[in-house]
């Protein structure tokens, strides 16, 4: 089981999770609406071959919910604060979706801190289908569920096809239990600020051009976010980029944790 840790940066509490391992430190950045323990299946597949660190992004999980401070630079500064707290000078970085975009900014702006990069189903130009789905689910979701069964039913209806372990993970870490039911840990106001404060696509492509470390672009072949053409262009834009496609939807770490873990270990070591 991972260890829960916490720090405070500029008045905002940041919770993060660590798994011990023999290999290089590897920072895991989750997507919008998720949480650090989203990476549990991936961590199980890594099986101690890497030292893993997975923050709950601000506005998510158990981390603080400031009224503002949701620009990409704020998330990059949080990631660096976690590495600094642990005394880690350089780490491999794995980012999924929103976390993938933040990992691109981290590697572009602080190349001395990133030894290798894995961008998981994150796109400088996301497909409209995926963007619209995220907007709908994150801004139109029920605020509260009467009990775990009601929350589980909602998860299975809106995100079908996952294993029981995935739904149990989401019940445990995506929600907080209150006296009258379950509420989301991710903050609705924060999610809206994140979705309206994203960098322009041209800035994302410029950031990819600035990355020099070995980088793996990972795409789910059934992704509704990252197209095949864009994924190939990303790999070609990077100075040392390669592409891996897996039979998965957008949530590659949930659909194919073993294959993603094995590829990450190879790149990081």
pLDDT digits (tens, 9 = 90+) for 50-106: 999 999 999 999 999 999 999 999 999 999 999 999 999 999 999 999 999 999 999
User: Is 233 part of any domain?
Assistant: yes
Tell me what the mean pLDDT of segment 116-136 comes to.
Answer: 91
Question: What SS3 class is residue 120?
Answer: strand
User: Is 211 part of any domain?
Assistant: yes
User: Is 139 part of any domain?
Assistant: no
DSSP 35: -
CATH, residue 62 = 3.40.50.1820
Strand order in the sheet with 144-145: 144-145, 181-184, 175-178
d(CA 174, CA 171): 6
Residue 44: which domain range? 3-127+186-268
User: Is 178 part of any domain?
Assistant: no
User: Is 162 part of any domain?
Assistant: no
Cα distance from N-terminal residue to C-terminal residue, the chain: 23
User: Is 174 part of any domain?
Assistant: no
User: Is 63 part of any domain?
Assistant: yes
H-run or E-run covering 169: helix 164-173
User: Is 21 part of any domain?
Assistant: yes
How many structural domains is the chain composed of? 1
Two tokens, residue 241: 């980029």
pLDDT digits (tens, 9 = 90+) for 128-167: 888 888 888 888 899 999 999 999 999 999 999 999 999 9
pLDDT digits (tens, 9 = 90+) for 192-201: 999 887 778 8
Question: What SS3 class is residue 24?
Answer: coil
């Amino acid at each position: 089981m991972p260890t829960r840790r916490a720090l405070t940066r500029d008045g905002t509490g940041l919770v993060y999770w660590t798994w011990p391992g023999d290999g290089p430190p590897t920072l895991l950045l989750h997507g919008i609406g998720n949480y650090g323990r989203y990476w549990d299946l991936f961590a199980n597949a890594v099986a101690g071959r890497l030292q893993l660190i997975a923050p709950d992004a601000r506005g998510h999980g158990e981390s603080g919910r400031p009224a503002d401070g949701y620009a990409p630079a704020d998330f990059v500064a949080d990631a660096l604060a976690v590495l600094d707290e642990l005394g880690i000078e350089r780490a491999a970085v794995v980012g999924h979706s929103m976390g993938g975009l933040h990992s691109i900014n981290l590697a572009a702006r602080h190349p001395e801190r990133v030894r290798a990069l894995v961008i998981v189903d994150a796109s400088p130009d996301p497909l409209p289908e995926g963007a619209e789905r995220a907007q709908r689910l994150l801004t139109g979701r029920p605020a509260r569920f009467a009990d775990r069964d009601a929350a589980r039913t909602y998860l299975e209806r809106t995100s079908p096809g996952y294993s029981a372990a995935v739904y149990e993970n989401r019940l445990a870490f995506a929600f907080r239990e209150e006296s009258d039911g379950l509420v989301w840990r991710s903050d609705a106001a924060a999610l809206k600020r994140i979705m309206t404060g994203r960098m322009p696509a041209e800035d994302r492509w410029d950031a990819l051009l600035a990355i020099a470390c070995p980088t793996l672009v990972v795409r789910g072949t059934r992704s509704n976010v990252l197209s095949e053409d864009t994924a190939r262009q990303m790999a070609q834009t990077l100075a040392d980029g390669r592409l891996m496609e897996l039979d998965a939807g957008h949530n590659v770490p949930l659909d194919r944790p073993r294959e993603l873990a094995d590829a990450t270990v190879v790149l990081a070591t």
